[in-house]
Chains A and B, each alone.
Chain A
Amino acid sequence: MLIEAINIVLLGMLALTALAAVRLHDLFAVTIMFGIYSLLAAVVFVVLDAVDVAFTEAAVGVGISTVLMLATIGLVGRHEQRPAHRPLLPLLVVAVTGAALVYGTLDMPFFADPAAPVHQHVVPYYLGKSPEQTGIPNVVTSILASYRGYDTLGELAVIFTAGVGVLALLGLRRRKRPAKEHPTP
């Protein structure tokens, strides 16, 4: 009962934060709203007992993303430009997509249903064998780094590629201003 009340409050605040982010036009305020949204999402993950995911959400979503978006706002200015098109068609597309997704959830098993396929496939094997096969108490780490080592290598390659892409597009050198802009006194 208490958990339901906490979930309702958290999800309600998530929806309110998302609405506020859509309604606001000051990009600085929108960025802070995104940070609050990530913080609430992290708390939802804690309620779901997914502490590793909550940790990542808190560190990446609240911390790094907010700083990167603020750095971008510093480059592009903090005020949103008026949209040149009417919002009706995008709204229709979003509404239809959202309705299709909600319709899709009707076929999903209930949360924490032990008969759900996701809990029947490899999960019993990992939970049962992880202590004797890896000797690591945190099953999340043993799955991430050992059983699913290839996937994590791929994820790391994705992050590496992102870093190389930013280096290739933006670079780390400072922009060279033309000399005539800064005449020596």
Chain B
Amino acid sequence: MRDNPVLRIVAKIIIPVILLFALYVQFHGDFGPGGGFQAGVIFAAGFILYGLVFGTEALRNAIPPGLLRFVIALGLVLYAGVGATTMLLGSDYLAYGALADDLIGGQHLGIFLVELGVGITVSAVTVTIFLAFAGRNDP
């Protein structure tokens, strides 16, 4: 597919839009449908489209596997770290109210951080699974 100019150009135009839409779904999940899971999958879909059109080798160059392995753990650590932080602040595990002076502010910050953690790990795992399967076909 690397030689097809229509696919290449359409992919180059649409991938930034997909990534931007994923960020919208991620940060707008408090107000509309969406959240970390959906945003992570859509964000990964942008990378997978890049891998499908330009080849998995190009995708591997764009995100090194070592970085991917780090990012998989990063999201889960961020989520669990929010819980550890609320405990250190003297509250229960994942009781976000302790993160700010008022309950609503703490809830907003806590939900923002854990959804971000979900999005990071989901997108990294999805790209990893795609690379692990599709990358085995490389010559």
Dominant secondary structure of chain A at its interface with chain B: helix
Q: Considering the chains assembled together, what is the distance between the CA atoms of A25 and B100 in angstroms?
A: 58
- Shortest Cβ distance from A49 into chain B, in angstroms? 11
- Shortest Cβ distance from B1 into chain A, in angstroms? 12
Query: Across the two chains, which residue of chain B brings its CB closest to A157?
Result: B76
Residues of A with C-beta under 8 A to B30: 136-138, 141
Residues B138 and A174 in contact, CB atoms below 8 Å apart: yes
Number of A-B contacts (CB under 8 A): 147
Let me know if A163 is at the binding interface, CB within 8 A.
yes
Let me know if B32 is at the binding interface, CB within 8 A.
yes
Residues of A with C-beta under 8 A to B36: 145
Q: Considering the chains assembled together, what is the distance between the CA atoms of A166 and B65 in angstroms?
A: 13
Chain B contacts to A: CB under 8 angstroms: 25, 29-38, 41-42, 44-45, 48, 52, 60, 65, 68-69, 72-73, 75-76, 79-80, 83, 93-94, 96, 103-104, 107-108, 110-111, 114-115, 117-118, 121-122, 124-126, 128-138
Q: Which are the 8 A-B pairs with shortest beta-carbon distances?
A: A163-B125, A135-B104, A172-B65, A170-B132, A51-B33, A71-B134, A71-B133, A149-B94
